């Protein structure tokens, strides 16, 4: 199997990030060339309970391919959630989606303490059962996101990837950190490369991708089929478009100008406003967009107390004067 079998646009994949990659930011990343966009992590159990907030997380305004990432620890509940979403898609109450992704890497205590997310790294049997249930319930490809291991002493990404492959997964993404690391330290790309060497399904590497040079080097050195970009895209959707051009032409385009960055941030702000979203959610995005600009520290402080989109726009424009 190859990435092309999943009908992705390219091999640069957007990482789902809770509270960050909502439908508006996903659209921006899609427009900058992301080969696959993924919903924020949604609870299979919440879908079964018809939680309206969970359905909002799956809002989508872009063309395929689009993946929904589920978390849960009960195979029968996951299968039921997929079937409920299938019915909702047919009725026009949920967006069409192309791939089912299962999160087995989230390190947050409230997820892990429920036996979900990265806790599944400690239970490969249950992890396999979840994948098998998703494969039976959906005619779509099923992919899995894992970590290097739960702890450094219990590194088992190879074993879990092989179990995922045997259970019917079409692709595995490996974040090169253990659960205990959360997002600290450096991602272990040797561990990611070892997974690629051990399985036949496509492997996507994830961790510390902040520049086009790093992305391309990691792709080549690890032998991975694709790269998943997470924090590097915060305030920097150009990481996708610049990396894509580098892969296609061998030349790295220049970084965006301050004017381009500010205009993109304003477009993002207006999209949130026009969609009826919470303007306060833009505070963190503006912080990421303006990081490193002259005078941006004061602007970020003022943005954090701004109450309207107009105030935020005025502050952003002041950086160009």
DSSP code per residue over 111-158: HHTTT-GGGGGG-HHHHHHHHHHHHHH-SS-EEEEEEEESSGGGB-HH
Architecture of the domain delimited by 3-249? Alpha-Beta Barrel (3.20)
Distance of alpha carbon 265 from alpha carbon 316, whole angstroms: 8
Whether 106 sits among the annotated catalytic residues: the reply is: yes
Report pLDDT digits (tens) over 21-71.
999 999 999 999 999 999 999 999 999 998 878 888 888 887 779 999 999
Report pLDDT digits (tens) over 152-172.
999 999 999 999 999 999 999
The Cα angle at residue 277 between residues 255 and 289, in degrees rounded to 5: 20
Please say whether the beta carbons of 77 and 45 come within 8 A: yes
Using CA atoms, how far residue 120 sits from 70, 103, 117, 149, 289, in Å, is 13, 9, 6, 10, 35
Q: Which is the catalytic residue, given 91, 106, 157, 224?
A: 106
Please say whether the beta carbons of 222 and 205 come within 8 A: yes
Please say whether the beta carbons of 118 and 156 come within 8 A: no
Distance of alpha carbon 271 from alpha carbon 224, whole angstroms: 35
In order along its 321 residues, the chain shows pLDDT tens digits of 677 678 899 999 999 999 999 999 999 999 999 999 999 999 999 999 988 788 888 888 877 799 999 999 999 999 999 999 999 888 888 889 999 999 999 999 999 999 999 999 999 999 999 999 999 999 899 999 999 999 999 999 999 999 999 999 999 999 999 999 999 999 999 999 999 999 999 999 999 999 999 999 999 999 999 999 999 999 999 999 999 999 999 999 999 999 999 999 999 999 999 999 999 999 999 999 999 999 999 999 999 999 999 999 999 999 998
Element (H or E) spanning 160, and its range?
A: helix 157-166
């Amino acid at each position: 199997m190859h990435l092309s079998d999943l009908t992705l646009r390219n091999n640069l994949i957007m990482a789902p990030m809770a509270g960050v990659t909502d439908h508006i930011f996903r659209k921006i990343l899609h427009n900058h060339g992301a080969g696959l966009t993924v919903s924020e992590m949604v609870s299979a159990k919440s879908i079964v309970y018809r939680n309206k907030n969970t359905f909002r997380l799956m809002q989508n305004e872009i063309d395929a391919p689009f993946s929904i990432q589920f978390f849960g620890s009960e195979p029968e509940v996951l299968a039921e959630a997929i079937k409920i979403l299938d019915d909702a898609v047919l009725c026009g109450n949920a967006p069409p989606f192309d791939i089912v992704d299962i999160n087995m890497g989230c390190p947050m205590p409230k997820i892990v303490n429920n036996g979900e997310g990265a806790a599944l790294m400690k239970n490969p049997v249950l992890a396999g059962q979840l994948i098998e249930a998703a494969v039976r319930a959906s005619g779509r490809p099923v992919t899995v996101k894992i970590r290097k291991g739960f702890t450094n002493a219990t590194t088992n990404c190879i074993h879990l990837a092989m179990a995922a492959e045997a259970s019917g997964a079409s692709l595995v993404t490996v974040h090169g950190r253990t659960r205990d690391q959360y997002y600290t330290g450096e991602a272990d790309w040797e561990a990611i490369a070892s997974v690629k060497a051990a399985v036949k399904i496509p492997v996507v590497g994830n961790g510390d991708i902040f520049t086009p040079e790093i992305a391309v080097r990691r792709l080549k050195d690890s032998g991975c089929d694709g790269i998943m970009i997470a924090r590097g895209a915060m305030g920097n959707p150009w990481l996708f478009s610049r990396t894509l051009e580098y892969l296609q032409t061998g030349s790295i385009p220049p970084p965006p100008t301050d004017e381009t960055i500010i205009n993109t941030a304003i477009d993002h702000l207006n999209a949130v406003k026009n969609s009826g979203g919470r303007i306060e959610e833009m505070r963190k995005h503006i912080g990421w967009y303006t990081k490193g600009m002259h005078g941006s520290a004061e602007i970020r402080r003022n943005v954090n107390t701004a109450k309207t989109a107009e105030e935020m726009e005025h502050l952003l424009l002041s950086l160009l004067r």
